[in-house]
Amino acid sequence: MPLPLRAFAASGAEASAEIPVIRRQGGEGFVSRKDCDDLRASLRGALLLSSDPGYDNARHLWNGAFDRHPAMIAKCAGAADVIQAVNFARAHDLLVAVRGGGHSFSGQSACDKGLMIDLSLMHSVHVDLVLRRARVEPGAMLGEFDREAQSFGLVTTAGAVSHTGVAGLTLGGGFGRLARRFGLACDNLRAADVVTADGRLVETSANENPDLLWGLRGGGGNFGIVTSFEYGLHPAGPIMYGGDLLFAASDARAILTQFAGFAAEAPDEMYVAGGMWTDEKLGPIVGFNICYCGRPEDGERAIAPLRTFRKPVRDRLGPTPYVRMQTDFDATYPWGWGYYERSGFIKKLTPEVRAARSRARSRRRRPSGTAIPCSRCSSRRTGTTRATAALATRACSGHARSGLHCRSSPTASM
Ligand SMILES: Cc1cc2nc3c(=O)[nH]c(=O)nc-3n(C[C@H](O)[C@H](O)[C@H](O)COP(=O)(O)OP(=O)(O)OC[C@H]3O[C@@H](n4cnc5c(N)ncnc54)[C@H](O)[C@@H]3O)c2cc1C
C-alpha cells in the first residue's frame, strides 16, 4: 500500500513536523514533533527518535533476528517516566513494546513504528539484610542481581544465562539452577510496583492487590509495567559444587538411560542440564551442566554416580563460585546473533524419547550452534541443521536487513 505523502516527508526530512506511527489496533497515523518534544521535556530519562544518537543502539535486542524500528524510544529513569510514557501512548493510541532486559526470544520488546518503553536505565539492586529481601528494578540483568545478593551470602532463583533480564524472566516464571530447592523466580516474588494501562502506580503484595501479584507470577507482561520487584532471598553459596561433565556421544543411549534413573532420585539441591551437541575440540558429545546448591562436600558425594556412567571426555566439576557458574552459558548465547529455536515438553525421559533423541542426532548433518561468518563482514551467527546452510550464503541481520552494520562483537549488556 503506498504511503501517504506526509509519511514521505517525515522519512526524508529530519525536521518534519509529524512522525509516522502505528496505532494500537494496527492502523497508521502520525504524532506531531511538538508532542514528542513535550514528552521528552517531561522525562528524567530520554526520548529517542530515529534521527537521535543512541537510537540504533537502544532499539537492538538480544535476538538479532528481530530488527525493529520504533517511532520513538522512551528511556525511562524511574516510575514517573514510565507513567509519562504510558499516558503518552494512551493519548496517541500507540502500539507499545516494553523492554526489560531485551532477551525475549520472539522479539516482543521492540515494535515497528510504535513507542518502545525501555527500562534498561532502571537497573538498581538493593539488598535488605535484615528482612532477607531484595528490591530490583526491571532493567537489571540476572548477573547484576546474583552478584549483589551473593556478596551477602544470599540468593534467589534466576535463569541460567547472566545477561537475561530479571523482568521478563520473573514475569514468565523463571526456572534456573536453584529452582528445585527454592522454587521459580516468580515463587520468590513477594511484592511489585506496577504502572497500569491507565497510568496509575499500584503496589502489589500479599496485603495490597494480592490478585494482581498472583497474575504477575507467570502471567507475563500482560498486567502493566512492573517498575520494581521485591524478592525473598535465601542463604546459599557463595561456593557451590558443579561445572561441566562431558561424555562421547557414541555412549549417548547408555548414558541417557543411566541419567533417567539418576534424575529421578536426585535431591532438590541438584540441578543438571543435559544436552547433545558437537564440541569444536571433542566432537559429538552428550554433556551435563551441574550445580549442587547445598554444601559443596555433599554435592561432590551426590554427583559421584554421574561420573561413573562412562569415562568422561571432560570433567570440570568442582567447588565453584555460584556467580561464576551463572555465566557458564553466557558465551553460548551472545547478544545480537540471529536465533531460531523450537522446543517441546516431555514429562519423562522414556526409552522412546532417548531412542528418538539419538536417531535425530545421527541424522544431523551440521553441528548445532555452529557459528557461520557473515558473507559481508566478520560477524558470526549461529544456526542449526538446515538453517545453518541457508545462513552461510547470506549476510548477517545487520547487513541483510538494515544495510547499516554488523554487530560483530557481541556485547552482554551488563
Ligand atoms: C539466552 C537465553 C537464556 C534463557 N534462559 C532462561 C532460563 O534459564 N530460565 C528461564 O526461566 N528463562 C530463560 N530464558 C527466557 C527468558 O526468561 C525470557 O526470554 C524473558 O522474557 C527475558 O526477559 P527480559 O526482561 O530480558 O526480556 P524482554 O525482551 O525485555 O521482555 C520479555 C517480555 O517481558 C515483557 N516485559 C519486560 N519487562 C517488563 C516489565 N517491567 N513489566 C511488564 N512487562 C515486561 C516484555 O514486554 C516482553 O514481552 C532465556 C532466554 C534467553 C534468550
Q: How far apart are CA 213 and CA 186, in angstroms?
A: 10
Q: How far apart are CA 246 and CA 267, in angstroms?
A: 21
pLDDT of residue 333 exceeding 70? yes
Closest CA to 385 of 365, 410, 399: 365
Q: What is the mean pLDDT of the chain?
A: 86
**Residues in Cβ contact with 373 at an 8 Å cutoff, skipping those fewer than 6 apart:** 379, 380
pLDDT at 267: 97
Ligand 1 neighbour 102 (Cβ under 6 A): yes
pLDDT at 354: 74
Domains by residue range for the chain, with CATH: 5-118 (3.30.43.10), 125-235 (3.30.465.10), 239-332 (3.40.462.20)
Q: Which of the four pLDDT bands, split at 50, 70 and 90, describes residue 362?
A: low
pLDDT at 364: 57
User: 296-307 vs 252-265: helix axis angle to the nearest 10?
Assistant: 140
C-alpha cell at 101: 532486559
Q: Cα angle vertex 272, ends 270, 273, to 5°?
A: 155
Ligand 1 neighbour 100 (Cβ under 6 A): yes
Q: How far apart are CA 374 and CA 384, in angstroms?
A: 15
C-alpha cell at 72: 520513538
pLDDT of residue 408 exceeding 70? no
- Name the residue with higher pLDDT: 375 or 148: 148
Ligand 1 neighbour 165 (Cβ under 6 A): yes
Ligand 1 neighbour 221 (Cβ under 6 A): yes
For residue 165, which atom of ligand 1 is closest to its CA? 26
Q: How far is the CA of 166 from the centre of ligand 1 (A)?
A: 7
Percentage of the chain exceeding pLDDT 90: 73
pLDDT at 346: 84
Q: How far apart are CA 132 and CA 152, in angstroms?
A: 10
First to last CA, the chain: 41
**Residue in the block written with cell 534413573:** 261
User: 351-363 vs 252-265: helix axis angle to the nearest 10?
Assistant: 140
Q: How far is the CA of 101 from the centre of ligand 1 (A)?
A: 7
* Mean pLDDT for the stretch of residues 229-235: 98
pLDDT digits (tens, 9 = 90+) for 270-323: 999 999 989 889 999 999 999 999 999 999 999 999 999 999 999 999 999 999
pLDDT at 187: 98
pLDDT at 361: 64
Say if residues 278 and 268 touch (Cβ distance below 8 Å): no
Q: How far apart are CA 65 and CA 380, in angstroms?
A: 13
Ligand 1 neighbour 383 (Cβ under 6 A): no
pLDDT at 28: 97
For residue 225, which atom of ligand 1 is closest to its CA? 42
Q: How far is the CA of 119 from the centre of ligand 1 (A)?
A: 13
Look at residue 14 and give its three-state secondary structure.
Answer: coil
pLDDT at 377: 47
pLDDT at 295: 97
Q: How far is the CA of 207 from the centre of ligand 1 (A)?
A: 27
Ligand 1 neighbour 141 (Cβ under 6 A): no
User: 33-42 vs 79-91: helix axis angle to the nearest 10?
Assistant: 160
Say if residues 226 and 193 touch (Cβ distance below 8 Å): yes
CA distances from 119 to 26, 46, 76, 241, 382 (A): 24, 11, 6, 35, 28
Ligand 1 neighbour 104 (Cβ under 6 A): yes
pLDDT of residue 383 exceeding 60? no
pLDDT at 369: 47
Percentage of the chain exceeding pLDDT 70: 83
pLDDT digits (tens, 9 = 90+) for 69-117: 999 999 999 999 999 999 999 999 999 999 999 999 999 999 999 999 9
- Name the residue with higher pLDDT: 222 or 53: 53
Q: Which helix (H) or strand (E) holds 248?
A: strand 239-248
Closest residue (by CA) to atom 49 of ligand 1? Answer: 108
Say if residues 408 and 336 touch (Cβ distance below 8 Å): no
pLDDT of residue 256 exceeding 60? yes
pLDDT of residue 372 exceeding 60? no
Q: How far apart are CA 73 and CA 96, in angstroms?
A: 10
pLDDT at 15: 57
Ligand 1 neighbour 45 (Cβ under 6 A): no
Model confidence, pTM: 0.86
Q: How far is the CA of 172 from the centre of ligand 1 (A)?
A: 7
* Mean pLDDT for the stretch of residues 351-369: 65
pLDDT of residue 411 exceeding 90? no
Q: How far is the CA of 103 from the centre of ligand 1 (A)?
A: 5
